[in-house]
Amino acid sequence: MEEKIRQVAQWILHSRRIVIFCGAGLSTESGIPDFRSPGGVWDRYNPEDFYFQNFISSEASREKYWQMATEMYESIKGAKPNQAHLAIAELERLGKLDCVITQNIDGLHHKAGNSPEKIIELHGTALFVTCLNCHKRYDRDEIQERIQKGIKVPYCDDCGGPLKPATISFGQSMPEKETQEAYQRSSSSDLFIVIGSSLVVQPAASMPLVAKRNGAKLVIINRDPTPYDHLADLVINDLAGKTMAGILEIVRSELA
């Protein structure tokens, strides 16, 4: 394991365009449940009830959605960045990060200190709410206060349109700008590091493949095996925080 950590550190030191791709395994180490795992949100709710079209067309669906979204947000708002988030932010400060592409909606890369322009949030963010009509943006805590006061479905102050967390729901189109940029950054990377992703949710999971096909070295750091392990130049099946802290320690010492 130590030899693998040393090898990743060396690749970081000698790469010019490093892209880090993050999934739910990174968030779980900050205490945020993986909603797909046993005991997660999808054990208590049926995902099919939360398709975007249902949200658009039914007040009852919007009410159920906000009940679920409020439950999810409770686990997100108090979460703190873990060692892996902090290591990724430090790589930016050391000039060794092109961008971080994340499937997570928890905003922990922002909290860790990464620059907003270095963060590509493929599935949106739970920290804001948007009006589906006029696109006015609200701070999530402001809307949570309304929910706590008994409002079951919040609406826009300006146009009366339905409000929805700024996350991507089932059946909702991926954000075009972010998706396009993520593919472009992946294809031009020379080192692509996957951290905490099972690499099964498409289209995001195809980005390591894009990077590899365009000549990048592929590293996968994940607790469990992924479908792309056989394509990777190096696989580490271990916790993200401990692994990234070990890698960063070597990178720092070499750059000192």
CB atoms within 10 A of CB 254: 11
∠ CA 85-86-90 to the nearest 5 degrees? 120
Q: How far is CA 129 from CA 89, 112, 135, 144, in A?
A: 25, 21, 9, 10
Helix (H) or strand (E) holding 100: strand 99-102
Structure tokens at 45: 């709710």
Percentages of the chain per state (helix, strand, coil), in multiples of 5: 45, 15, 35
- Which residue is listed with tokens 């932010």? 89
Label residue 190 left, alpha or beta by phi (over 0 means left) and psi (-120 to 50 means alpha). Answer: alpha
- Which residue is listed with tokens 């994340």? 102
State yes or no: is 14 an active-site residue. Answer: no
**Rounded (10°) CA dihedral 179, 185, 187, 190:** -150
CA end-to-end distance (rounded Å), the chain: 24
Amino acid, single-letter form, for residue 160: G
Q: Which of 254, 246, 244 is CA-nearest to residue 89?
A: 244
Q: Which of 203, 208, 253 is CA-nearest to residue 227?
A: 208
Q: Choose the catalytic residue: 14, 123, 135, 230.
A: 123
Residues paired with 219 in a beta bridge? 193, 234
Catalytic residue numbers read 123
